Amino acid sequence: MARWRDGQGTLTVHRPGGEVRVPLELAVSYRARTRGLLGRDAVEGALLLSPAASVHTFGMRMAIDVAYLDRSLRVLAVRTMVPGRLGLPRLRSRHVLEAGAGVMAGWGLVAGVVVSVG
């Protein structure tokens, strides 16, 4: 797997019915991961935090969908979190994908689906 840098990219969801491409923001530096979605009212596409095994929504203004990914970018679990919550760390999780509440279901992002980052 290539080393990523903070910036923009594309998330490709490889689902049985075909691929879905989503605008992606990469947060791989400590500073970018710490900032995450704090202070935002919305997110265009998704945000990938790497490395990460858990997230929190303290100080957030919106509910979010959270997908926990393993080393091979396979989805381990997808959860919706409202502001002011602490997500428990997921065993085998190496990356966390965040998006607006409810959008991941529309992308077909469920446990077992593989994604790629470009």
Q: pLDDT for 91-103, tens place per residue?
A: 999 999 999 999 9
pTM for the complete prediction?
0.92
Q: pLDDT for 6-28, tens place per residue?
A: 999 999 999 888 999 999 999 99
**Structural domains of the chain ordered from first start:** 7-111 (2.60.120.1140)
Looking at residue 1, what is its pLDDT?
A: 52
Distances (CA, A) of 28 to 1, 23, 42, 49, 98: 14, 16, 20, 6, 13
Looking at residue 35, what is its pLDDT?
A: 86
Give me the percent of the chain exceeding a pLDDT of 70: 98
3-state secondary structure of 65: strand
Handedness of CA 55, 57, 58, 59 (dihedral sign): positive
DSSP structure class, residue 29:
S
Q: pLDDT for 66-87, tens place per residue?
A: 999 999 999 999 999 999 999 9
Length of the chain, in residues: 118
2 has a pLDDT exceeding 70? no
Residue 97 in contact with residue 69, Cβ under 8 Å?
A: yes
